[in-house]
Amino acid sequence: GYSVTEFIDCIEALKVFTANPHDFDLVMTDYGMPNMNGKQLAKKIKEIRFDIPTILFTGYGDLVAKERIGEWGMDGLLIKPFKLKQLSNLVREVIDKRSTNT
């Protein structure tokens, strides 16, 4: 299983990640978050720890093309609504891919 740390605010998430970046194996964020969007959060997190896998959730699938995710340095994309099985498959895929690349 996984241990999840949840935030509703990007500023708080960034603060906790900055204090202990190696406590996390994966970052998942929604594109539409208060104070900064998920893309901005992921960019700041990657500046602290470039190797952390990131997954973006969005309800704006028409605005966030899958091809752009790689340009943004992210490892995965889920368009809302999605099924739990899709999430678990993507998490496993991203973690497995990252562990074979290190």
Structural domains for the chain: 10-101 (3.40.50.2300)
The reply to whether the predicted model has a pTM over 0.95 is no
- Per residue, the 3-state secondary structure of 7-72, as one string, reads CCCHHHHHHHHHHCHHHCCCEEEECCCCCCCHHHHHHHHHHHCCCCCEEEEECCCCCCCHHHHHHC
Question: Is the confidence at residue 102, as pLDDT, over 70?
Answer: no
Q: What is the structure's pLDDT at 79?
A: 93
What digits encode the pLDDT tens for the residues 73-87? Answer: 899 999 999 999 999
| CA atoms of 84 and 98, how far apart (whole Å) | 21
Q: What is the structure's pLDDT at 34?
A: 81
| Residues 6+ away with beta carbon under 8 Å from 87 | 78
| Residue 75: closest CA among 101, 10, 36 | 101
What digits encode the pLDDT tens for the residues 20-73? Answer: 999 999 999 999 888 899 999 999 999 999 999 999 999 987 777 777 888 888
